[in-house]
């Protein structure tokens, strides 16, 4: 069972349940957080509440492909994990040219404490088919395809989604203290297209992640990896995020990238990024230069 959000004929956001047989049922909650709160009040899991709500209703006539999907959750905050896959450690050692002895990336990959950072806020986060922006002051930019954990305020994993942690490799490579600038800007984080409820995932450590990039209608990059390659456990990442912290219902925690395009690759305006995770769907975003940036002198 997955939860989606789509634009209704009245142009408002409609939350819906998508069953594994492809049927779509409208559900009476105005956001995923609202569904979480109702489930909490009724002392139920989101899955059983949704099953109960849809059991006496009819599915809508439209198929998934006919709907205009929007952000399935409106998270106040999106956090992200870093250097949780070998691939990320290697790529970062290369871009920072710090691979002599033990770099900070080698250290954080091995350390007990994971790297966690605030990736995005609601107004910087976009959903499917909306442009992700590339920075105007960077010449080396990539998407980072990541599994996202959807959390309750108690740090419970209620669902899984897809996230794109857009990153600037030259800014981070110049100096890791520039990380917030290498990671956070307008439309630098994309989430969607659905949230698969946690109870309906057999093994979250065996999910295939595929990233494809198209340029001028041609496939110019395609690579796959599996969440089985993750160095850490999800609960470990969540427990560090919750330590001495306030976690909002519906916070998304990205779990790090396992796919990094080769050194000579950088995103360009007009590219289309697709990130697919088995059982969750395909998160597709075109790439655009942010035309509305104001350059302060
Ligand atoms: O260390 C910097 C960020 C790492 C990251 O975003 C990742 O590994 O996915
Ligand atoms: Mg990342």
Ligand 1 neighbourhood includes 247 CB (under 6 angstroms): no
Q: What is the number of the ligand 1 atom nearest to the C-alpha of 85? A: 8
Taking the CA of 89 as reference, the closest ligand is: 1
Residue for token digits 């630098």?
188
Distance CA 58, CA 51 (A): 12
Q: Which of 256, 258, 260 to mutate to test the pocket of ligand 1 (most atoms within 8 A of CB)?
A: 256
Distance CA 177, CA 154 (A): 30
How high is the mean pLDDT of the chain? 96
Taking the CA of 164 as reference, the closest ligand is: 2
Distance CA 277, CA 210 (A): 7
How many other β-carbons are positioned within 10 Å of the β-carbon of residue 139? 11
Distance CA 214, CA 222 (A): 9
Residue 97 pLDDT: 72
CB 146 within 8 Å of CB 80: yes
Residue 296 pLDDT: 55
Ligand 1 neighbourhood includes 163 CB (under 6 angstroms): no
pLDDT(282) > 90 = yes
CB 258 within 8 Å of CB 88: yes
Q: How far is the CA of 165 from the centre of ligand 1 (A)?
A: 9
In this structure, the residue with its CA closest to atom 4 of ligand 1 is 82
- Please state which of the ranges 98-102, 157-161, 203-207 shows the lowest mean pLDDT: 98-102
Ligand 1 neighbourhood includes 88 CB (under 6 angstroms): yes
Residue 3 pLDDT: 98
Mean pLDDT, rounded, for 22-48: 97
Ligand 1 neighbourhood includes 83 CB (under 6 angstroms): yes
Distance CA 297, CA 153 (A): 40
Residue 284 pLDDT: 98
Mean pLDDT, rounded, for 230-234: 98
Residue (of 262, 159, 174) closest to 220 by Cα position:
262
Residue 256 pLDDT: 98
Sorting pLDDT into bands at 50, 70 and 90, what band is 291?
confident
pLDDT(98) > 80 = no
In this structure, the residue with its CA closest to atom 2 of ligand 1 is 82
CB 70 within 8 Å of CB 283: no
Mean pLDDT, rounded, for 130-140: 97
- In terms of phi and psi (left: phi > 0; alpha: psi -120 to 50; beta: otherwise), the region of 274 is beta
Sorting pLDDT into bands at 50, 70 and 90, what band is 102?
confident
User: DSSP string covering the chain, please?
Assistant: -EEEEEE-TTS-EEEEEE-TTS-EEE-S-SSHHHHHHHHHHTT--HHHHHHHHHTTSPPPSS-GGGS-B--S---SEEEEEES-SHHHHHHHHHHHT--SSS-HHHHHHHSSSPEEEEEEEGGGEE-TTSPEEE-TT-S-EE--EEEEEEE-TT--EEEEEEEEE-EEHHHHHH-GGGHHHHH-STT-EEEEEEEEEGGG-S-TTS-EEEEEEEETTEEEEEEEEEGGG-SS-HHHHHHHHHTT----TTEEEE---S----TT----TT-EEEEEETTTEEEEEEEEE-TT-----
The pLDDT tens digits of the residues spanning 150-171 come to: 999 999 999 999 999 999 999 9
The pLDDT tens digits of the residues spanning 43-68 come to: 999 999 999 999 999 999 999 999 99
pLDDT(184) > 70 = yes
Ligand 1 neighbourhood includes 173 CB (under 6 angstroms): no
pLDDT > 70: what percent of the chain? 97
Q: What is the number of the ligand 1 atom nearest to the C-alpha of 105? A: 1
- Counting every residue written for the chain, the total comes to 297
This prediction has a pTM of 0.96
pLDDT(108) > 70 = yes
The pLDDT tens digits of the residues spanning 251-279 come to: 999 999 999 999 999 999 999 999 999 99
Sorting pLDDT into bands at 50, 70 and 90, what band is 290?
confident
Sorting pLDDT into bands at 50, 70 and 90, what band is 243?
very high
Ligand 1 neighbourhood includes 274 CB (under 6 angstroms): no
Sorting pLDDT into bands at 50, 70 and 90, what band is 292?
confident
Mean pLDDT, rounded, for 197-201: 98
Residue (of 83, 75, 100, 73) closest to 13 by Cα position:
73
Q: What is the number of the ligand 1 atom nearest to the C-alpha of 179? A: 2
Sorting pLDDT into bands at 50, 70 and 90, what band is 100?
low
Ligand 1 neighbourhood includes 82 CB (under 6 angstroms): yes
């Amino acid at each position: 069972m997955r939860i989606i959000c789509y634009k209704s004929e009245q142009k408002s956001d409609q939350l819906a349940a998508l069953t594994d047989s492809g049927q779509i049922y409208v559900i009476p909650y105005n956001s995923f957080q609202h569904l979480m709160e109702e489930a909490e009040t009724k002392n139920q899991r989101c899955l059983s509440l949704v099953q109960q709500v849809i059991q006496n209703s009819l599915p809508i006539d439209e198929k998934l492909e006919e709907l205009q999907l929007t952000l399935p959750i409106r998270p106040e905050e999106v956090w992200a994990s870093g250097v949780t896959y070998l691939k990320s450690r290697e790529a970062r050692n290369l871009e920072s040219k710090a691979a002599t002895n033990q770099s900070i990336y080698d250290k954080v990959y091995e350390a007990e404490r994971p790297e966690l950072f605030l990736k995005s806020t609601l107004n910087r986060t976009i959903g499917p088919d909306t442009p992700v922006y590339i920075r105007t002051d960077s010449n080396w930019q990539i998407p980072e395809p990541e599994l996202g954990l959807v959390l309750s305020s108690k740090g419970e994993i209620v669902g899984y989604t897809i996230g794109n942690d857009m990153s600037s490799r030259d800014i981070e490579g110049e100096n890791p203290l520039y990380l917030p600038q290498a990671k956070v800007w307008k439309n630098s984080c994309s989430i969607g297209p659905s949230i698969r409820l946690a109870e309906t995932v057999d093994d979250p450590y065996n999910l295939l992640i595929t990233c494809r990039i198209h340029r001028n209608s041609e496939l110019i990059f395609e690579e796959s990896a599996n969440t089985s390659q993750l160095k850490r456990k999800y609960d470990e990442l969540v427990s560090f995020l919750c330590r001495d912290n306030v976690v909002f219902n519906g916070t998304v925690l990205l779990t790090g990238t396992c796919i990094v395009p080769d050194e000579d690759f950088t995103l360009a305006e007009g590219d289309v990024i697709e990130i697919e995770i088995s059982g969750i769907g395909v998160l597709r975003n075109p790439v655009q230069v942010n035309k509305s940036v104001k350059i302060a002198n």
